[in-house]
Structure 1
Amino acid sequence: MLNVLVLGGTDEARRLAAALAGREGTHVVSSLAGRVRDPKLPVGEVREGGFGGPDGLAAWLAERGIDVVVDATHPFAARMTASAVEAAGRAGLPLLILRRPGWSPGPGDDWRQVPSLHAAAELLPAVGKRVFLTTGRRSLPVFAGLADLWFLARSVDPPEGPMPPRAQVLLSRGPFTVEGELALMCEHRIDVVVTKDSGGEMTTAKLHAARELGLPVVVVRRPPAPDGVPAVQSVQEALAWLETVAHAG
């Protein structure tokens, strides 16, 4: 029996868990950080909540007899990825990183790429006054000091911490449509969009809508992937890698 831990929360993690759950000789456990109140649950066994850092994760891996770890967390979950690398290394377990490809600007796009949320906040006043902020509920404190700007802040769950004084919160979960995003941006007279380079198709509609409206998009680049760890961009590649690991074992 190959025991696989999938560090999840993404669509790719759910699709990987579904594929592994149907494989003979494989048991999959999906771990969710518990940051979303009503998450989409994957097929198979699910563990919710943190591990307590690398030490806690390493102990859990040993306790559960895990054979291999797949980090399929959000591309910006850098802390969880670092913990996975350290814990798997201590346990001597193979680790794979599954990350969907990032977005790339196309013809007609006006992207301003920045290295961090703080850099996005510094740039914003020079780019627009009415902001469509789609960087997650935990990011609002970074923009709290921008009192002269108006924000439409969209997230799955209510924001945490300080917020910009002129902000409207929109609770919504993707996937979104281009038509819906166009209507939303026009209704609120948006003149700049802020997003993380999350990749995937579920939230690309805002990029297409911004292109149609000729709006600038401030794009926060992904944190770098850890060195020396195998990485793939699709569920099929992850399944092939796991097949190799199973045969090697």
Structure 2
Amino acid sequence: MRILIFGGTGEAIDLANALVRQGHEVTTSLAGVTRKPRLPNGHVHRGGFGGVDGLKDYIGRNDFQLMIDATHAFAANMSHHIVEACEQLNKSHLRLTRQPWRAGPEDEWQHVEDLAQAAERLPEGASALVTIGRQHVEPFVLRDDCTIVLRAIEHPEMVLPPRVTVMLERPPFSLEGEMALMQQHKITHLVTKNAGGDQTVAKLEAARQLGVDVIMIERPALPTAPEVFSVDGALKFVADHSASAA
């Protein structure tokens, strides 16, 4: 089966590798947010498509039979384009996403809608660990009354003032490491997107144990689509789809 995976997550890589091993012809699309991404097996498409019409053209020219949206939960525009293109082409599609994190009884998260709100919630004098990636960090950089520790896979493109510390690291992260980081930098606030998953959840447990306030940026609304929450679930969907198409 010819399958197009929209990647950008570890699950997308694991899924592509598994499908290639099963004999499917897989292309993974990478938007180019990360300059040096991990690459899956199979074919790789880099860059955008030019909106819904460009995506429809790409799907049609390559005769893909199934589209799988395994992008980050905050890649809302791409998810909307995938659903719209597939519905217009009458093509099958699936969303592979992570279960969102949920606050426990001991947690007191501040829930916000976007990055600007998150930056506004930081009180004067806060020392914040910001784990939102390298893009769109300006609202936090402009908080000259706060100390910011920015963790990302790659360095932001903008020039940063001395009070902003950049840590370049890839997940997974351990509880011990997260607690040591927060203690070393005297972190008072953790700012994170509700990405879900196990590889970065340790920061939430560390914040809970250390009494660090959490500012949680909630996910944007996405269009309705068939949805699974694991690579195994996606593989079963592909197997069922292949059987029904045979």
TM-score range, shorter chain: over 0.9
- Where does residue 221 of structure 1 map in the other structure? 218
Between the aligned partners of 1:110 and 1:132, the Cα distance in structure 2 is 17
Between the aligned partners of 1:129 and 1:202, the Cα distance in structure 2 is 26
What letter is aligned with 1:77?
A: A
Judging changes above 3 Å, is the alpha-carbon distance between structure 1 residues 165 and 143 closer, same or farther for their aligned structure 2 residues? farther
What letter is aligned with 1:190?
A: I
SS in structure 1 at match of 2:17 = helix
Between the aligned partners of 1:201 and 1:81, the Cα distance in structure 2 is 22
Q: TM-score, with normalisation over the residues of structure 2?
A: 0.94
- Where does residue 12 of structure 2 map in the other structure? 13
1:161 CA displacement: 3.8
| Alpha-carbon contact 1:4-1:70 (below 8 Å) kept | yes
Residues 62-85 of structure 1: per-residue CA shift (max 9 Å, x gap):
111111100000011111111111
SS in structure 2 at match of 1:151 = strand
Residues 47-98 of structure 1: per-residue CA shift (max 9 Å, x gap):
2222222122111111111111000000111111111112222222111111
Q: CA RMSD, aligned part only?
A: 1.7
Q: Number of matched residues?
A: 245
Which of 236, 239, 247 is the matching residue for 2:235? 239
1:163 CA displacement: 5.0
1:170 aligns with 2:167: yes
Tell me, which stretches of 5 or more residues in structure 2 are unaligned?
Answer: none
Between the aligned partners of 2:159 and 2:183, the Cα distance in structure 1 is 27
What letter is aligned with 1:22?
A: R
Between the aligned partners of 1:133 and 1:56, the Cα distance in structure 2 is 35
SS in structure 2 at match of 1:95 = strand
SS in structure 1 at match of 2:109 = strand
What letter is aligned with 1:58?
A: K
Q: Percent identity of the aligned residues?
A: 42
| Alpha-carbon contact 1:110-1:214 (below 8 Å) kept | no
- Where does residue 47 of structure 1 map in the other structure? 45
1:248 aligns with 2:244: yes
1:247 CA displacement: 2.5
| Alpha-carbon contact 2:80-2:222 (below 8 Å) kept | no
1:153 CA displacement: 0.5
Between the aligned partners of 1:142 and 1:5, the Cα distance in structure 2 is 35
- Where does residue 189 of structure 2 map in the other structure? 192
Between the aligned partners of 2:96 and 2:222, the Cα distance in structure 1 is 11
1:34 aligns with 2:32: yes
1:208 CA displacement: 1.2
Tell me, which stretches of 5 or more residues in structure 1 are unaligned?
Answer: none
What letter is aligned with 1:8?
A: G
